[in-house]
Chain A
């Protein structure tokens, strides 16, 4: 009888003990579930998406990893020296030699009358020349294009000029031989004689 009593007491105590453990087990299970869900979420972020947003715009919960492919140049970046820059700039330079007669002469100042004026574009040049004479800001004569190795020895007046001697500006415009693009110009002060 007494043994049955003691057995009954022990079972009751064990039941009570089991009842006390349940909340702890439940808490541990909940914690495990929480950890599992966090793990799954972080794994989901690493999966490539069809249109991934830029990494800078969306903060990632995990630290970025280094893409350790390729290699950079050793040492500090080099700035080209002054001599290297000068050499590069000099290669872009186009130099010409002009040969311009110091006087243009017209036997008549009437429009369309022809006169003499010599301009040579030496063969060594790499530009096309086109010349014009301006008197008081107005163009009074313009040459045909003069290719390297060519010259002109006359011009035609495009407007009437009164007889007299004038100091005029002869402008030479330069164009690329191949591209025919405008490159620059130079002026010559010459004498214009109209009879």
Chain B
């Protein structure tokens, strides 16, 4: 009697196990490898990688001041901070005189004029404005020490910035002194960033 009951229970359990294994769906890539001795099973691993977010903090506009009496050009540094997880490359895409001020300068080469001798009309017309990487300000070694003058059209790759690092650009200018009033003038600086 006991042995009969055991046989019935064993039968129920084996049916149940077979039923469960049949009910669980096989995963798409499931494969049964058969053979004798050592068997090789290939497993494909599918990865999904999201694009990185490039994050940079930078000024949108930069102001400068010319004091003809003191013969000084003053402009704050252009500070660029890389918040990205990896290094980024910063490039000066363009620097151009723009309208919107009471004067619209014409960009010229710094050697194009005898700046301190410019008369009233030419002082209000010409400027040589440039931007360059500031040394020891966070740029990785190998950064460009060249000045990008506004008169040039070709972009200047400034250098790379490591994550959570700030680098600075300095503005420089040659200009006339004959100004008969207070004026404003605009330039547009376009920076370009990309993953290093």
* Chain A interface residues toward B at CB < 8 A: 79, 82, 85-86, 88-90, 92-103, 118, 120, 127, 169, 174, 183-191
Contacts and interface: CB of A to CB of B under 8 A. Distances in A.
Interface string B128-151: 000000000000000000000000
A100 B65 CA distance: 33
26 contacts: A79-B69, A82-B74, A85-B65, A89-B64, A89-B65, A89-B74, A89-B76, A90-B76, A96-B60, A99-B54, A100-B53, A101-B51, A101-B53, A102-B195, A118-B53, A183-B61, A184-B190, A185-B190, A186-B58, A186-B190, A187-B191, A187-B192, A188-B54, A189-B192, A189-B195, A190-B54
Nearest to B72: A82
A45 B64 CA distance: 53
Given A85-B67, A92-B61, A94-B60, A186 B192 contact: yes
A144 B193 CA distance: 22
A95 B78 CA distance: 10
Given A85-B67, A102-B52, A189 B74 contact: no
Contact of B57 (A92, A93, A97, A103): A97
A93 B61 contact: yes
B5 interface: no
B59 interface: yes
Nearest to B62: A93
Contacts of B62: 93
A184 B60 CA distance: 5
